[in-house]
């Protein structure tokens, strides 16, 4: 294996030990990931990005540590963090299994149950490279509308990823969000960007959380993100979660509400049909109340 001199030297300066070898890790379009074999025999992964947004890696490290404190879903140990990189303990990958999915459902329920002090977080964060406003608000509907959906509606319109008519459909849902949000729940400790690419099926039989946009939010948000882009053995995960921490009535009907934010983020970042999909999700909520 080759040794990437610059990457290895940066890791050594942060870890205080030598790097024997480095190997490029495939996947990911935001950061460059490199596997490190260390002199103590352990492996790690370093994520780097030239001119990364200020505090991007710091916020990610804080979120991962906060999730790990819950003692629920598995999170790789943060070994070091700086403005230009993040170093995590290496997770050896395995194959998706129903048993791992079942364990993960229970583990995720435990993470959520650890709770948060508020809806939001002490600092703003990132979802990918996109900004994630986190200034707390007292209720989830207020937080979701003001900090998650409306900033991205405006950004999507500015970037012509959302038409004014589509924006109005989404805004109509936000004006009536209390009708769609279900019964109030206390803030949950959520991952915040829980699509299948941000979980690692470990060779140890556990699922590990990575690339967190962690904050105090609604637990249905994580489940909606998994459902939006799909995951192996998804139904097993959800069934196990529901057994450990029963979901409120109507949670499936609320999935489109929680999916508005990731769809709008994708509309801003990638364009394509994501804006139209967000408007369609909003319209499905409005249609569900027609005639009431």
For the record, the structure tokens of 35 come out as 């596997």
**3-class SS shares of the chain: helix, strand, coil, % to 5:** 45, 20, 35
Q: Are 33 and 45 in contact (CB under 8 A)?
A: yes
Q: Is 148 exposed, middle or buried (0-12, 13-18, 19+ CB in 10 A)?
A: buried
Q: Which residue of the set 29, 40, 158, 193 is catalytic?
A: 193
> Which residue from 57, 49, 55, 76 is spatially nearest to 65, judged by alpha carbons?
76
- Residue that is written with structure tokens 């959800």 in the block: 238
**Active site (annotated) includes residue 193:** yes
Q: Where are the beta strands (DSSP E) in 26-141?
A: 32-38, 43-48, 78-82, 85-89, 125-127, 130-132
> Which residue from 213, 218, 212, 214 is spatially nearest to 257, judged by alpha carbons?
218
Give the DSSP H/E element, type plus range, for residue 263: helix 255-270
The DSSP call for residue 199 is: E
**Cα 5 to Cα 32: distance, rounded to the nearest angstrom:** 15
**Cα 48 to Cα 200: distance, rounded to the nearest angstrom:** 19
> Which residue from 194, 184, 114 is spatially nearest to 144, judged by alpha carbons?
184
Q: Which residues are known catalytic residues? A: 193
């Amino acid at each position: 294996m080759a040794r990437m001199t610059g990457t290895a030297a940066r890791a050594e300066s942060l870890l205080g030990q030598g790097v024997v070898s480095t190997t490029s890790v495939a996947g990911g379009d935001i950061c460059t990931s490199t596997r490190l074999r260390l002199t103590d025999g352990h492996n790690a992964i370093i994520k780097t990005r030239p001119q990364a947004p200020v505090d991007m890696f710091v916020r990610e490290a804080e979120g991962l540590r906060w999730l790990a404190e819950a003692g629920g879903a598995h999170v790789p140990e943060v070994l070091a963090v700086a403005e230009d990189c993040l170093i995590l303990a290496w997770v050896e990958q395995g194959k998706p299994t129903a048993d791992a999915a079942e364990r993960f459902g229970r583990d995720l329920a435990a993470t959520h149950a650890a709770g948060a002090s508020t809806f939001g977080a002490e600092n703003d964060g990132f979802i990918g490279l996109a900004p994630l406003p986190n200034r707390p608000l007292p209720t989830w509907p207020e937080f979701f509308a003001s900090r998650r959906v409306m900033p991205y509606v405006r950004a999507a319109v500015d970037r012509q990823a959302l038409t004014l008519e589509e924006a109005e459909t989404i805004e109509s849902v936000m004006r009536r969000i209390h009708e769609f949000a279900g019964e109030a729940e206390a803030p949950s400790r959520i991952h915040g960007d829980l699509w299948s690419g941000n979980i690692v099926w470990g060779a140890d039989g556990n699922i590990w959380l990575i690339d967190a946009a962690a904050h105090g939010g609604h637990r249905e948000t994580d489940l909606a993100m998994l459902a939006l882009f799909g995951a192996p053995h998804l139904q097993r995960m959800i069934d196990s979660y529901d057994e450990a921490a029963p979901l409120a009535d109507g949670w499936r009907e609320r999935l489109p509400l929680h999916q508005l934010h990731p769809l709008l983020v994708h509309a801003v970042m990638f364009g394509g049909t994501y804006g139209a999909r967000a408007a369609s999700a909003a319209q499905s909520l409005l249609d569900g109340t027609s005639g009431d």
